[in-house]
Structure 1
Amino acid sequence: MKDLTDKQELVYKFILNSMKERGMPPTIREIGDKFEITAKGAYDHLKAIEKKGFIKTQKNQSRAIELTRNDALESLPAQVMTIPVLGRVAAGMPILAEENVEGYIPIPDRLAKKPGTFALRVVGDSMIEAGINDGDLAIIQKKETARNGEIVVALVEDEATLKVFYKESDHIRLEPRNAKLKPIKSKKAQVMGKLIGIYRFY
């Protein structure tokens, strides 16, 4: 992994300190204000740091900076823990949730007390009436069972979807929270985990 320039190292340390002190990364504007540079200058520094493997960013999202180095992750304080982002989950039609780590996000440790907590990126609008939007990160506690009315990630024919769970007599009903969409009914749906939080970038 390439070394950072002096200025890139200062920006990187500012990101780490923000995560340690506030539990979230800074915005591009906050980086620009801190170093008295333009938003484009701050963005260029982020992309250079990302290219060298220290962080990962998401396009068009203000606070979408994820740490990728283990030594940086281990330096975060106890009250902030990091969890892996594992692919995508559909809040519309199911999309394959690939079991590859896209990056890590810091969350309060009370959300990650139990092992197996992870995040999936939401795609679609079927849960908008529950306040879950396209692009959100769904924080999931790994579980194989659920109670009626809980929001779960369920596997349907090897594809994962975020829906409200209902166990019925001979099948499972996965209900959207969008009046325009119909529920998914399946006899083979498998619960992967329960929604315990939403991580959103503005």
Structure 2
Amino acid sequence: MLTAKQQQLLLFIKHHLERGGVSPSFEEMKEALDLKSKSGIHRLISALEERGFIRRLPNRARALEVLKLPDGLATIPANPVAAAAPAKAAPQIPIAANDVIDVPLHGRIAAGVPIEALEGSNSLSVPAALLGSGEHYALEVAGDSMVEAGILDGDFALIQRTETARDGQIVVALIDESDATLKYFRREGGRVRLDPANGAYEAQIYEAGRVRIQGKLAGLLRRYN
């Protein structure tokens, strides 16, 4: 038997998949269920997964598949969250703060090959609180070109997959479909400037067509041993 919140979330995910073909983001699920923390969504998803109602698709940060519905809920109501809501909200159980998500680890950022060509068999366990909505992957940082931004050699950069960026964001930029780099992104007319965060390095300037954004920095992990 599912709790009211578990049933709400299951129906919301099912409705979202049938309507748009993709799983809802953790932010969307948090707002739909009126929760204060995304870690509460991770707890609900884990409970649904353990009970065999959903499964997570491998190597994709927000890909969920609904396997079954509770008895008596063979059809999806137009407003699944409202339909599953109890008359009175039950007191919430304290939310665990140590939830983790496994994201693909794609090697070192200075490897000199497109992100898509890097091996994706390894993964990195990441605190869920460091990740927002969308699909993520991790890269090991090589070099000291971003030290003044607090990004050190050997750190793990957590990257939200995207093809667009705003000026001033730290991005993974693929140059000439061959060399990947982690730099500040800025536009200058028809050109792109990639700025390091180290006074010992100069900015890299390219024609816009030579640069393809492959993600933006979402967080950072560092090991001390």
The two structures share one fold, judged by TM-score above 0.5: yes
* Deviation string, structure 1 residues 21-53 (Cα, Å, up to 9, x no partner): xxxxxxxxxxxxxxxxxxxxxxxxxxxxxxxxx
For 1:153, the equivalent position in structure 2 comes to 172
**Unaligned stretches of 5+ residues in structure 1:** 1-69, 71-76
Give aligned-pair identity as a percent. Answer: 40
Contact 2:159 2:218 in 1 (8 A): yes
Q: Higher strand fraction: Structure 1 or Structure 2?
A: 1
Contact 1:87 1:102 in 2 (8 A): no
Could you tell me how far apart the structure 2 residues matched to 1:190 and 1:196 are?
18
Deviation at 1:109, TM superposition (A): 1.9
Confirm or deny that 1:95 pairs with 2:115.
no
Match of 1:190 among 189, 212, 218: 212
For 1:201, the equivalent position in structure 2 comes to 223
For 2:189, the equivalent position in structure 1 comes to 169
For 2:16, the equivalent position in structure 1 comes to none
Q: Does 174-183 or 78-87 show the bigger shift?
A: 78-87
Computing the radius of gyration from Cα coordinates, the structure with the larger value is 2
Could you tell me how far apart the structure 2 residues matched to 1:111 and 1:200 are?
13
Could you tell me how far apart the structure 2 residues matched to 1:113 and 1:178 are?
28
Could you tell me how far apart the structure 1 residues matched to 2:218 and 2:131 are?
9
Deviation at 1:113, TM superposition (A): 4.2
**Unaligned stretches of 5+ residues in structure 2:** 1-57, 59-96
Instruction: Give SS of 1:126's match.
Output: coil
Question: Structure 1's 148 and 88: CA in aligned 2 closer, same or farther, altered over 3 A?
Answer: same
Could you tell me how far apart the structure 2 residues matched to 1:141 and 1:199 are?
14
Match of 2:143 among 124, 145, 155: 124
Deviation at 1:95, TM superposition (A): 2.8
For residues 56-135 of structure 1, what are the structure 2 equivalents within 5 Å? 79-90=99-110, 95-96=112-113, 97=115, 98-101=117-120, 103-135=122-154
TM-score, length of structure 1 as denominator length: 0.57
Give the paired residue count. 124
